[in-house]
């Protein structure tokens, strides 16, 4: 029998953590990728199979997504046929779910499941080629759950809602792209085509989901152009993104309109939103994550002495904060977790490649992996709970179903959320009041617009949507006293204007004390009074119909 040393592979380790007895560090990328794809498939099925949408919060935000899906299937193009500061994928993903499932109840879960299916191959390649399994698998589970979970990050596990899914999708794709800062592990066969395809897909997803994520992703690719050994795939991916944007604009003619809507929003909120107190609150809420990242970064930089690495960690910390600052979200700067994974992997590789490996080096590397796991494990548990709650509630048909045929399967539920449930029932009652009034109008209405945050009526009643209006009106986000779409443009194709009364569901004050409904009414009310007749009133709504026949203009 040959001696044991002759049977060792060239990558076998010595007694300082490098022996065959210690399997903790063993790389087996061939197994990582299939496991990541299997996890993604399970999460997609958990979302899609019940075919129901259950919500305990943010019903108006859910209506925005469902209205967008209804608009797309009616032939409209986001930003070109209606104004929205969100990327077109924030509308096309629910529309794809609606088209595949055949119901608005399946629009969100099936759409998000489809998004997971698109992201999973890129995630599997990036994590398998760059991270040891001890970090790759927890990070994959964490990011896939971030995309799949129906809750706003940082909120209670009972705050179940598919609303704002675009933020979670953006975080998952952006964090995966940031991990590509690491070069392919020396033991792995380099597949540049896979790197190029993964980076291009991830960047296009974030660019066309929400502009803030897209800006950080493009800045990252530009940064990678100065990283030796990484320039080629970054340049090719950036070229594909630019060419794709040009082709999309040529055939779709919506990219320029999307940029205009984003510019309109930036004129209102700026790059950094909120008062100093709100910004400080963001920092405090994410302070523990920043501390753990700082610990890993200090250890990694002591080992690598790399200025480029330091710039990357700073880019993740600052860029991630600028993104969350634009979100309706307190916790969850997921770029921190991507940077932490890179720092932990740097320490492992440093221990592997040291000329004279020491027990201390391997101990630091092992400790870094444990710190990284400690960083991602609590949110993994936290995200698993609302996803499980939604799956059980949807399967059991829990809660109250909305009574409209096109929204059959959309449910509001009380999952230990009595206060939120009361607000939802008030909102649903106002919606029912409005739909009943619209159903009585003769002739049948079309082009309904709501002087409020969201418009549930077109999707609920299957009405032809207006063109040139806005997907939503959010005070101090895409409308304020100085920056707003002129009423003659916003309402040019509108036949019915629904004006909410004080009892039409909850209407919270803004942080600066304005009443959003009153402010919107002050901007558009005079135009409505001059061009529309009051044709009905209910407890919740004043209903205005265009006074003269509309003449459609070429578009």
Q: Give the model's pLDDT for residue 280.
A: 84
pLDDT of residue 506: 65
Average pLDDT of the chain to the nearest whole number = 88
Q: Please report which helix (H) or strand (E) contains residue 448, including its range.
A: strand 448-450
262: which 2 tokens? 């984003």
* 74-93 confidence digits (pLDDT tens): 999 999 999 999 999 999 99
Reduce the DSSP state of residue 111 to 3 states and report it: helix
pLDDT in tens, 525-549: 999 999 999 999 999 999 999 987 5
Mean predicted confidence (pLDDT) in 35-62: 95
Strands 532-537 and 448-450: unpaired
Please say if the pLDDT value at position 555 is more than 50.
no
Gap between the Cα atoms of 469 and 516, Å rounded:
18
What integer pLDDT is reported at residue 511 of this predicted model? 60
Residue 554 pLDDT > 50, yes or no?
no
At 429 the pLDDT is: 92
Cα four-point dihedral sign 80, 82, 88, 94 = negative
Mean pLDDT confidence for 425-444: 91
Which of 5-19, 255-269, 308-322 ranks highest by mean pLDDT?
A: 308-322
pLDDT in tens, 223-252: 999 998 899 999 999 999 999 999 999 888
pLDDT digits (tens, 9 = 90+) for 162-212: 999 999 999 999 999 999 999 998 777 778 899 999 999 999 999 999 999
Return the pLDDT at 509.
61
Domain positions in the chain are 39-394, 417-546
H or E element in which residue 359 lies: helix 359-395
pLDDT bracket for residue 1 (50, 70, 90): very low
Q: What is the pLDDT of residue 190?
A: 77
């Amino acid at each position: 029998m040959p001696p044991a040393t002759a049977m060792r592979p060239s990558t076998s380790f010595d007694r300082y953590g490098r022996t065959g007895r210690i399997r903790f560090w063993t790389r087996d990328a061939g197994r990582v990728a299939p496991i990541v794809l299997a996890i993604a498939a399970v999460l997609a099925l958990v979302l899609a199979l019940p075919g129901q949408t259950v919500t305990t919060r943010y019903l108006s935000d859910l209506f925005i997504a469902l209205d967008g899906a209804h608009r797309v299937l009616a032939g409209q193009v986001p930003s070109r046929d209606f104004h929205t500061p969100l990327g077109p994928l924030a509308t096309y993903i629910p529309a794809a779910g609606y088209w595949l499932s055949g119901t608005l109840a399946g629009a969100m879960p099936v759409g998000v499941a489809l998004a997971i299916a698109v992201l999973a191959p890129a995630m599997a390649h990036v994590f398998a080629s760059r991270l040891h399994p001890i970090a790759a698998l927890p990070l994959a589970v964490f990011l896939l759950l971030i995309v799949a979970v129906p809750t706003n990050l940082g909120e209670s596990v009972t705050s179940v809602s598919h609303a704002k899914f675009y933020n979670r999708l953006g975080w998952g794709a952006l964090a995966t792209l940031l991990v590509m800062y690491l070069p392919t592990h020396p033991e792995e066969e380099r597949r540049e085509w896979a790197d190029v395809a993964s980076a291009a897909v991830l960047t296009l997803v974030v660019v066309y989901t929400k502009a803030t994520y897209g800006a950080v992703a493009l800045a990252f690719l530009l940064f990678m152009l100065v990283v030796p050994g990484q320039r080629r795939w970054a340049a090719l991916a950036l070229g594909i993104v630019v060419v794709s944007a040009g082709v999309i604009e040529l055939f779709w003619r919506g990219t320029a309109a999307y940029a205009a809507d984003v510019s309109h929003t930036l004129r209102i909120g700026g790059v950094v939103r909120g008062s100093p107190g709100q910004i400080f609150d963001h920092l405090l809420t994410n302070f523990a994550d920043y501390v753990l990242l700082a610990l890993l970064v200090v250890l990694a930089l002591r080992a690598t002495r790399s200025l480029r690495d330091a710039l990357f960690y700073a880019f993740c910390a600052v860029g991630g904060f600028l993104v969350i600052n634009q979100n309706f979200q307190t916790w969850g700067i997921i770029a921190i977790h991507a940077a932490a994974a890179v720092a932990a992997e740097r320490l492992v590789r440093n221990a592997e490649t040291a000329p004279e490996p020491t027990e201390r080096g391997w101990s630091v590397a092992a400790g870094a992996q444990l710190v990284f796991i400690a960083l991602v494990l609590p949110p993994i548990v936290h995200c698993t709970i609302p996803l499980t709650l939604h799956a059980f509630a949807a399967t059991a048909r829990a809660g109250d179903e909305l009574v409209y045929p096109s929204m059959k399967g959309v449910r509001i539920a009380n999952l230990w959320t009595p206060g939120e449930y009361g607000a939802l029932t008030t909102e649903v009652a106002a919606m029912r009041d409005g739909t009943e009034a619209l159903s009585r109008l003769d002739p049948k209405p079309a082009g309904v617009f709501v002087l409020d945050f969201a418009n549930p009526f077109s999707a609920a009643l299957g009405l032809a949507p207006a063109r040139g209006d806005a997907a939503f009106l959010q005070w101090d986000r895409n409308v304020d006293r100085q920056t707003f779409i002129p009423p003659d443009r916003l309402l040019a194709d509108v036949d019915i204007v629904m004006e909410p009364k004080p009892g039409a569901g909850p209407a919270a004050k803004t942080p600066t004390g304005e009443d959003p409904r009153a402010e919107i009414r002050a901007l558009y009310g005079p135009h409505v009074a001059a061009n529309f007749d009051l044709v009905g009133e209910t407890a919740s709504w004043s209903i205005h119909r265009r006074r003269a026949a509309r003449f459609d203009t070429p578009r």
